[in-house]
Amino acid sequence: MNVSNPTCPKCNSANTCEIIYGYPADEEEYLKLVAEKRVYPGGYCIDDDSPAWYCNDCESKWGELNLDKIDSFDFDQGFNIEEVYD
C-alpha 61/C-alpha 18 separation (Å) is 10
Mean pLDDT of 29-54: 92
C-alpha 35/C-alpha 29 separation (Å) is 10
Q: CB under 8 Å to 78, separation ≥6 — which residues?
A: none
Mean pLDDT of 28-48: 92
- The one-character DSSP state at 53 is E
Examine residue 74 and state whether it is found in any structural domain, yes or no.
no
Pick the closest to residue 19 from 37, 39, 43 (CA basis): 39
pTM (2 d.p.): 0.74
Q: Provide the residue range defining the domain that includes 32.
A: 1-63
Q: Are 15 and 56 in contact (CB under 8 A)?
A: yes
Give the pLDDT band of residue 15 (cuts 50, 70, 90). Answer: very high
Please count the structural domains in the chain: 1
Examine residue 33 and state whether it is found in any structural domain, yes or no.
yes
Q: Are 60 and 8 in contact (CB under 8 A)?
A: yes
Examine residue 23 and state whether it is found in any structural domain, yes or no.
yes
